[in-house]
Structure 1
Amino acid sequence: MSALDTLLDRTVIPGYSKLGYRLRSRTWPDDDPAPNSLTGKTVIVTGARSGLGKATAADLARLGARVRLVVRDASRAASAVADLRGDVPDATFEVDECDISDLDAVRRYAGRLTDPIHALIHNAGVMPAKRTQSPQGHELTLATHVLGPLLLTELLKPLLADGRVIFVASGGMYTQPLPTDPEYRDTPYKAATAYARTKRIQVELTPLLAADLAPTFVATMHPGWSETPGLTDSLPGFTRLTKHLLRTPAEGADTTVWLAATEPAPHTGKFWHDREPRPTHYLNRTRESEPARLAMWTYCRAAAGIQPQAT
């Protein structure tokens, strides 16, 4: 990592903004995914109706992938699919309806899939204003960002043998340690904190999931600050303050697409931003012990209904 890249990373505002992306992209080696590198391969993108998910789907399709767009409500995805087909006319897009927070829906969805999957991209995100529960009674951000993705990944193991699993996290996770109350039952609920805490969980469980799925590639990335409907709806004040600094959705999605398609696959189990592995902590107060990480792994797998691993 260059000195400029490190400086951009540590100072946050330049590094997470469109300035950071544009400065870094000028120095990247010539390792863009090759044209048509995903031809004949299937990728799944959750939360693909808008924003980062939609941009990710478009760029993967440009590389030749058949893209399955996982959305909560298929009827609301028609305009997004029309946009995508207009942008990439020769691509194949399929809309799959599944609420990732609903573990029963995840099981039904996984049971319908039979073809090999090259990349499973966990992009679906929520930030409810008040504490909300999933159909199984789990706090909604935890269910959407962690439990549903873990269960879907587990159920698709047979189809992911040579594939890649990528979680879209957030730089906001740097402010939070692993929670001792992942369901947010014991303290007053704060939407942004709940979001950041579940993104911290994603990052901390990535090395454990990578070991569990090996040789399948697993990574977590964060997209920086990108102009998306989710950001505008959830944090309107922040969006107004940073509107001149926000990345485009395509810039935010760049590292996800690169991780999904570049050859050979990068090192597994890492946390990435702008095509480089990044530290998972900058603050001593957020660092966790290995027993705490393993306890969270055990809790989340049990909460997702994943059977304990044989010893």
Structure 2
Amino acid sequence: MTTTMPYSLAVVVPAYNETEVLERFHGRLAAVFATMDVEASVIYVDDGSADDTWAIITRLAASDSRVAGLRLSRNFGKEAALTAGLDAADADAVVVIDADLQDPPELIPQLVARLREGNDVVYATRDDRAGETRFKKFTSAGFYRLMERLSDNPMPRDTGDFRVLSRRAVAALRGLRERQRFMKGLFAWIGYRQVAFRYHRDARAAGATKWNYWRLTNLAIEGITSFSAAPLRMATWLGLSTAALAFLYGIWVILKVLVWGDPVRGYPTLLVVILFLGGAQLMALGVIGEYVGRTYSETKRRPLYYVEDSRGPVSPFTPP
């Protein structure tokens, strides 16, 4: 069923040290707005940048009435910056896109067109990822497939944050105030009607990526522990399996003593068994610690972000 065109569209763009590419991004986005029969606006969220990102946002807001900006009080991370933008967006359709031009803003009209078909979320799935190493592509594909198996609400494969959401999908996301935020998982968790839009992802237009393998690994751990208890179950099964093997080995030792006697040997075997059991216990404690730490962080109920300054027609959202 085809619905009427959303009368308003807001584009949320998190930005962290994007001086080299932000004005180029806005030029292409403004050209896209000119082709669309909607009341369009853009919200740039400066996530505590150390360069001239906020100065550029201020200049864009002064010259273009469709531009609004939020400046967070420090670098809270991309997930928090995305949340701040979604909290402040007031439109019938909201697009989430990065400023690095890897996700072409020219695809926004096609995403919105799919939203018109009665969907609540249209997520952009990458057919190809230009400008990335084979190792990066391999690890990324492996992560999405692992999440697909572990999570109770599987995320779409090879899909980043680039997507368009309906008003009720954005309202649902605003109700999720957890501190341990993994937005790709939250987008999938809310449900509603979600469809894929396949596209080719370009290389970064300028500047350097803010994601290294350490931060990506931490994000992967965040995603797994936020949306799956499978690691805890794996630790349980590891403990049970280890106990079963130890019991069987104990029976073997007793039978060997009864049949062949005890020549006081086996020190290497004993050392291996002790190291294996110690390693298994430490790994299980580490998994439990990850979940306990996240629970502790949630119980403090600190705000997800603070807004230091704003520009243009935007009001920071005050959660209930």
**Is this a same-fold pair by TM over 0.5?**
no
**TM-score under structure 1 length normalisation:** 0.33
The structure having more radius of gyration, on CA atoms, is 2
Higher relative contact order (CA 8 A, sep 6+): 2
**TM-score under structure 2 length normalisation:** 0.33
Q: Which has the higher strand share?
A: 2
